[in-house]
Amino acid sequence: MPTVETAVNPATALKLEQMRVIRAPRARVYEAWTNPEILAKWFGPANMECPRAELDVREDGNYRVEVVSTAKAIAENPELAKRGGFAAGSYTKVVPNEMLQFTWDPSWNPGELSLVTVLFEDVRGGTQVTIRHEKFLTEASRDGHTNGWAGALEKLTAQLEA
């Protein structure tokens, strides 16, 4: 099973970076981030799903992705029915098949506007996806997003390597 690497730089501790090699061509991995129908199949932390994704993938274009707990997760823990929400923002930089950068304004952390950069690089065996997420307001938010992105990368890998 591929591993997710997470690094936190103590000098700027309120950011995270995760990398994953996915056995799929770079154009296909990029499409999974830019096609709302594909993104909705994998986006979100473990035990959550994305019922709706709206993407206008161009510089200054807006996006909105919704996440809710899966029915299975709620059956196991009814308190999870209260989890979920949406993240919205705008694309600040788009380089097809190479990079997406966008602001991240999650409904579960009102007032926290952070920045996400996703890099796509050809490597032996597939595509390396690197997620850099920075400008968190709190360590708790950074740590929560660390878990969320790890789950999303796991689901993305399963989607594309199936």
CA-based angle 161:154:119, to the nearest 5? Answer: 85
Q: Which amino acid is at 40?
A: A
Q: Domains, the chain, ranges and CATH?
A: 5-46+94-161 (3.30.530.20)
Q: What is the pLDDT of residues 42-91, one digit of tens each?
A: 999 999 999 999 999 999 999 999 999 999 988 998 888 878 899 999 99
Q: How many angstroms from the chain centroid is the CA of residue 23? A: 18
Q: Which residue has the tokens 């059956």?
A: 75
In this prediction, residue 77 carries a pLDDT of 87
Residue 63: how many other CB atoms lie within 10 Å: 21
pTM equals: 0.90
What is the full DSSP assignment across 47-75? TEEEEEEEE--STT-EEEEEEEE-HHHHH
Task: Report the C-alpha gap between 64 and 89 in whole angstroms.
Answer: 7
Q: What is the pLDDT of residues 96-139, one digit of tens each?
A: 999 999 999 999 999 999 999 999 999 999 999 999 999 999 99
Task: Report the C-alpha gap between 49 and 27 in whole angstroms.
Answer: 24
Q: Which helix (H) or strand (E) holds 128?
A: strand 126-134
